[in-house]
Amino acid sequence: MKINYINTELIYRRLLAESNTAKREAIFRQELIAPYEGVVNTFGGGDGLTQFAQWALYTPEAFSDGHRETIVSLLDTMSAHKAWQKTEQALKDAHRAFAPYESRIPLNTIQCGLFLADGKMMRRFNPLDRGYTGFGGVPGYVMVVYGEANEYNLYRLKGTTVHELHHNIRFALFPFTMNVTVGEYIIAEGLAESFAAELYGEDVVGYYVTDFNEAELATAKRVIGNALSVKGFNEVRGYIFGDVIAENMKLPKAGVPNYAGYAIGYRVVQHYLKRTGKTVPEATFVPAKEIIAESGFFI
């Protein structure tokens, strides 16, 4: 398993320095889109620029239009925080943690990069967004995405990076399909965030796990516990993301708090790890049903 870290900071600075429109687009296509062609194809193919724009990622014209000042500010803030070095270090940490198990992981090369996005567009997609997200759902490709930089989300950069890399490994072992169940999805998220906590401490765990009161957790546990076998990507996402995001995405609402699936998945996995004494890398090879059953969380 090889991790190919793409230093997008250097690429973004070249895009800012390039005044020729055609050359700027050529750099973008060759150095940012080409390594992620597999993801573009997974989402229907077509023009990679269109796909990047749909994901709220900055595209070539943004480096010379009204977005330029915002990009420069975001880039400089993240650079001062050593965001790109921390991303690279997090990838090395994750790789090291899984090194003893590499022969069991059906992955060759994973493309990894830290990308800048339009923060306003990110919030249109997700009104609960806090300026950072990631994507690791297609084995072989990891994107960590920042639309704004602040103390809260920069502190969680390394955790977010290893969370997404964990998705790559988990989904290489247990493919994520359109028939995914609630149980499978919550365990995928629970393992990924538990991996971040295992490497960097519980302080890096995100708001999608921590921002719950007891009543909300009780509701989430009850509803999700009765829906573990519900399947279908669109149906399941309502349980994972909660009613606010489901409504925004025009998906069926499940009657659960925001990010309920993340919060419950994390707690299920934590129960499992404590009961079994396993590490997250060890648990990564265990089927979701077994993790849920052995956790005893829903009993």
Residue in 50, 52, 35, 236 with CA at minimum distance from that of residue 142: 35
- Say if residue 45 is in the same domain as residue 145: yes
Residue 184 and residue 158 share a domain: no
Euclidean distance between CA atoms 3 and 77, whole angstroms: 26
Q: Which of 8, 32, 122, 21 is nearest to 63 (CA)?
A: 21
**Tens-place pLDDT, residues 131-162:** 999 999 999 999 999 999 999 999 999 999 99
Domain boundary among 125, 144, 172: 172
**Are residues 49 and 98 part of one domain?**
yes
pLDDT for 46 equals 82
Please state the φ and ψ torsions of residue 268, each to the nearest 5 degrees: -60, -50
Asked whether residue 234 falls in the same domain as residue 143, the answer is: no
Q: What are phi and psi of 127, to 5 degrees?
A: -65, -15
Same domain, 258 and 213: yes
108-123 tens-digit pLDDT:
999 999 999 999 999 9
Q: Which domain holds residue 93?
A: 2-172
| Same domain, residue pair 44 and 156 | yes
The structure tokens 């998220």 sit at: 189
User: Are 26 and 167 contained in the same domain?
Assistant: yes
Checking if the pLDDT of 21 tops 80, the result is yes
Q: What is the pLDDT of residues 159-201, one digit of tens each?
A: 999 999 999 999 999 999 999 999 999 999 999 999 999 999 9
Do both 291 and 144 map to the same domain? no
Q: Which of 172, 203, 220 is the last residue of a domain?
A: 172
Structure tokens that stand for 109 in this block: 């090369």
Same-domain check for residues 50 and 159 = yes
What pLDDT score was predicted for residue 45? 75
Mean pLDDT rounded to a whole number for the chain: 97
Residues 25 and 75 in one domain: yes
Q: How many domains does the chain have?
A: 2
Q: Is 95 in the same domain as 197?
A: no
Distance of alpha carbon 32 from alpha carbon 49, whole angstroms: 10
Do 150 and 190 belong to one domain? no
pTM exceeding the 0.75 threshold for the entire prediction: yes
Among 126, 156, 172, the domain-final residue is: 172
